[in-house]
Amino acid sequence: MGTVVIDDATGVILADLSHEGERFLAAKGGRGGKGNACYVTSTKQGVTFAEKGEPGTKGWLRLELKLLADVGMVGYPSVGKSSIVARVSAARPEVAAYHFTTLTPVLGVVRLDEENSFVLADLPGLIDGASKGVGLGHDFLRHIERTRVILHIVDTSGSEGRDPVEDFKKINEELALYSDKLVKRPQLVVANKMDLPGAEEHYPALEKYVTEKGYPIMKASAATGDGLRAVMYKAFEMLQKAPRDEAMLEVGHLREVDPDSFEILTDSEDADFEVKGKNIERLVAMTNFDNEEAVYRFQLIWRRLGIEKALKDKGIEEGQSVKIGDMVFEFEDRY
């Protein structure tokens, strides 16, 4: 669950498999060709041609997993996200004093009591330029799209030599650059590492800036556990109020087109003209051009679809090449 199916050529999201048991047919096999008996009529009994099988769907798909978590933690590397999820859940992410300890998302279930719980995601840390794919940028940000509440973890002590207020600003800027919807997501700021020297001195400025931006802020220490229980209850409270469909992806719908419609291109690399259209390309793929009757049938349908006239309107001349699907023909004007 959580897999998104994307048409790699267009970027259109074809399916968002976010519920148990959901299925999506991404590529369909072609139907079998009709045998010669299908073309027998009362006046024509000795039919000697048959269709080939129709080719199946062909193309490239991109599959992305976007984790299904209720609450997701954001923040610079080493601000304490892994330590927090290890404290409040049974998850055991690797914790160490170097950047990007968390290279893949870690999910933990936070149980407040026997009846209430939620899924918390410990996600890889953001850095400047993440919205453009720098570092673990897009690998991280796509998971945040699913979460309904964001826990923004800030190193209040400035132990990495950074300003907590600037950290907060830059992370939110990266979220906004990636998706304007993320900035509107409910966000609880956690002033972490309050047990370290310098945290109390930095906290007033951080609190003032965060509250002016309209976000709630709470003190905590992942090292000692102080304040984390209250933070989790507050996150759960915000989760109850958060819109349930806010984090859902917008699934695109492929435009329905007339199967008989076609377009003629004049910039093909392989021929003077190229005809693209669902039914004409299928007809070419299923026609046996070594059989005269099959070729005659092809010519009748090609004229019925109006392709010959359209090519003439485009200025095609005798002997020029026409590409349809994988076949290249030489145009002959017999009429």
Domain extent listing, the chain: 1-65, 67-241, 257-335
pLDDT tier, 238 (very low <50, low <70, confident <90, very high otherwise):
very high
pLDDT tier, 131 (very low <50, low <70, confident <90, very high otherwise):
very low
What letters, b where the CB count within 10 A reaches 16 and e where it falls short, cover 117-143? ebbbbbbbbbbeebbeeebbbebbbbb
What is residue 236's predicted lDDT score, i.e. its pLDDT? 94
pLDDT at 164 over 80: yes
Please choose, from the candidates 187, 179, 75, 173, the residue with its C-alpha nearest in 3D space to the C-alpha of residue 122. Answer: 75
Residue 315: exposure state from Cβ atoms within 10 A (0-12, 13-18, ≥19): exposed
Q: Fold identical between 67-241 and 257-335? A: no
pLDDT at 246 over 80: no
pLDDT tier, 54 (very low <50, low <70, confident <90, very high otherwise):
confident
90 vs 113: which has the higher pLDDT? 113
Instruction: Kindly report the backbone phi and psi dihedral angles of residue 64, in degrees, each rounded to the nearest multiple of 5, phi listed first.
Output: -125, 135
Contact between residue 95 and residue 78 where contact means Cβ atoms under 8 Å apart? no
Q: Mean pLDDT over residues 267-290, rounded?
A: 87
Superfamily grouping for domain 257-335: GTP-binding protein OBG, C-terminal domain (3.30.300.350)
107 vs 111: which has the higher pLDDT? 111
Q: Mean pLDDT over residues 33-43, rounded?
A: 72
Whole-structure pTM value: 0.57
What is residue 268's predicted lDDT score, i.e. its pLDDT? 83
Choices 3.90.480.20, 3.40.50.300, 3.10.129.10, 3.40.640.10: CATH for 67-241 = 3.40.50.300
Q: How far apart are CA 217 and CA 190, in angstroms?
A: 6
pLDDT at 312 over 70: yes
Whole-number mean pLDDT of the chain? 81
Q: Mean pLDDT over residues 76-90, rounded?
A: 83
Radius of gyration for the chain, computed over Cα atoms and rounded to the nearest angstrom = 30
pLDDT at 204 over 90: yes
pLDDT tier, 75 (very low <50, low <70, confident <90, very high otherwise):
confident
What is residue 59's predicted lDDT score, i.e. its pLDDT? 83
Alpha helices in 37-145 (DSSP H): 81-88, 137-144
Specify the range with the lowest mean pLDDT, choosing from 41-45, 111-115, 260-264: 41-45
pLDDT at 258 over 80: no
What is residue 250's predicted lDDT score, i.e. its pLDDT? 55
